[in-house]
Structure 1
Amino acid sequence: MSKVGFIGLGIMGGPMAANLVKAGHEVIGHNRSRAKVDKLVADGGRAAASVAEAVRDAEVVFTMLPDSPDVEAVVLGEDGVLANAAPGTLLIDCSTIRPDVSRRVAEAAAEKGVRALDAPVSGGEPGAIGGTLSIMVGGEAEDFAAAQDVLGAVGSTIVHVGPSGAGQTVKAANQLIVAGNIGLVAEALVFLEAHGVDTEAGLRVLAGGLAGSAVLDAKGGKMREREFAPGFRLELHHKDMGIVQAAAREAGLSIPLGSLVSQLVAAAVAQGDGGLDHSGLLRQIAQLNGRD
């Protein structure tokens, strides 16, 4: 079993760290808010008062942070991960950030003798709690092999997708598909409601056919009930769609459907819905149609 430092114990990171504890790893966690650290301690982990304390004796370090600047500050900062990690430490960043930042982190890590993987995840809070996340991993093949034990404690679909930054590129594609799917489920639901159809029955039969999807299964019922407690906040999906747009421009690509849903997500955030679950995009679609 490994000594694991875990930095970022939010909606996703907290359950992931707890699953590492359940798998028998020694986990020491750090988070900006103390309550999240206390929850990990209650789950059997240990508390770290700083990034340095979480990293210093760890064989593996996980980071699960909101955005690219957060990862840069925590990993590359003066008293950050690389300043305190021993050579040979395995750094696994599960945040969703720009691919170019992941590549820069990997280069800086290599200079310190630290092995870096970008390993963003999909599956939301239920997947984090259940240890069933899909994990798309970029980095060296031998480092991916070394990470199998710890990644297996938090995910069930774990795939090496290429060199550093490739994991983030696949995650961007994931977020593009999820946002588009949520937008279309929202439009379908508003369409059914406008025609007076029993939406519970309608979504159930749609889920059983070619229109079925993980998004429809996970979000359809909550969208029907207008229940938008955050599992993954719209403001974070807005950030992710910015990553998609920037990466598409870098590659000289046109993504017309992605651009449209990106604007819808941006409008929802601008109108104050950023703290809602990303299925709260339904509110924007409904508003466009004069419905609640």
Structure 2
Amino acid sequence: MRIGFIGLGVMGAPMALNLLKAGHTLTVHRVRERHQGLLEAGAVAADSPQEVAEKSQVIVLMLPDTPDVEKAVIGADGVLSGLQEGSLVIDMSSISPVVTKDVAASVRRAGGEYIDAPVSGGEAGAREGALTIFLGGSEAVVEEAMPLFQTLGKNITHMGEVGAGQATKVVNQIIVGLTIEAVAEGLSVAEASGIDAGKAREALSGGFASSRILEMHGQRMVNRTFDPGFRIRLHRKDLGLALAAAEHHGVELPGIEVVARQMDKALAKDWGELDHAALFRLIAERDV
């Protein structure tokens, strides 16, 4: 297929490369020096989202935040300006479920189809084509696009109509955020008690405390290696979406309010580009 890809970040670039490896023609936007490998593998650079849309049957977005998606799709020289009749826009960013429905409506009025497909799994999942993907869209459109999602992920679930994928991602980020904070607090107490944090992590992996977060992010904490991964500033953005959704639905999120404050402290220390496992430093390295 002729695929356009907008958003070549930490996760977007390896996702785009996996689509190339699967044999698709790829047009990409905002190519930087670090993306030369994509061009060498056969991707073609475009000067605008409009040009991406003009050359593509499917346009994939993997952008940092809600305003970025709005600008790329409905802004000047955006996707809608070049959208072909019957083309499919797939937004794999993590953005507001409310805005998702508005953007989807704009795409449909322009003659296209829309799926929201936010992901979980971090850089490793993107690189390995093993992402967890939450899909929102009509059953027929999702079924037609499923081979593309199977190139990018392993655990793929159709959650419902447009917006359902983003709502599920909000739930995911609530649980991930709380679990990272729990692992950070637990391993900090281990160190303070004179216990080897690495040994504690291994011991806990066999019981109810076991989790993917303990396995991967716990090891980052033990090693104190906090290269992203998934950046703190992006997870804090997602927690903002979670808190907004909770307020809209009249639900209280006391735990997430605490984690959001922790992330705000990290941002105040200019740690926004570190992996979210760096929350551990706030507790374990009190002199930082």
Contact 1:131 1:153 in 2 (8 A): yes
* Equivalent position of 1:155 in the other structure: 153
1:207-239 per-residue CA deviation (whole Å, 9 max, x = no partner) reads 121111111111111111211111111011111
* Equivalent position of 1:273 in the other structure: 271
**Displacement of 1:49:** 2.4
* Equivalent position of 1:209 in the other structure: 207
Contact 2:181 2:279 in 1 (8 A): yes
Deviates more, 1:252-261 or 1:126-135: 252-261
**Displacement of 1:53:** 2.1
Instruction: Give the Cα separation in 2 of the matches to 1:36 and 1:91.
Output: 26
The two structures, once aligned, show a CA RMSD in angstroms of 1.2
* Equivalent position of 1:13 in the other structure: 12
**Displacement of 1:264:** 1.1
**Displacement of 1:291:** 5.6
Question: Share of identical aligned residues, percent?
Answer: 43
Tell me which of 95, 100, 103 is aligned to 1:102.
100
**Aligned AA (1:275):** E
Give the match's secondary structure for 1:95. coil
Runs of 4+ in 1 over 4 A off after TM superposition: none
**Structure 1 residues 5-154: aligned runs within 5 Å:** 5-31=4-30, 33-154=31-152
**Aligned AA (1:241):** L
Contact 1:6 1:27 in 2 (8 A): yes
Give the match's secondary structure for 1:272. coil
**Displacement of 1:28:** 1.1
Contact 1:10 1:36 in 2 (8 A): no
**Displacement of 1:91:** 0.5
**Displacement of 1:85:** 1.0
What residue ranges of structure 2 are gaps of 5+ in the alignment?
none
Give the match's secondary structure for 1:153. helix
Instruction: Give the Cα separation in 2 of the matches to 1:35 and 1:109.
Output: 31
**Displacement of 1:189:** 0.7
Tell me the TM-score normalised to structure 2 length: 0.97
Instruction: Give the Cα separation in 2 of the matches to 1:84 and 1:285.
Output: 50
**Structure 1 residues 160-239: aligned runs within 5 Å:** 160-239=158-237
Structure 1 residues 173 and 145, CA gap change in structure 2 (3 angstroms): same
* Equivalent position of 1:260 in the other structure: 258
Contact 1:29 1:37 in 2 (8 A): no
Instruction: Give the Cα separation in 2 of the matches to 1:285 and 1:246.
Output: 27
Instruction: Give the Cα separation in 2 of the matches to 1:211 and 1:174.
Output: 18
Contact 1:30 1:37 in 2 (8 A): no
How many residues matched?
Answer: 288
Contact 1:38 1:47 in 2 (8 A): no
**Displacement of 1:52:** 2.0
**Displacement of 1:131:** 0.2
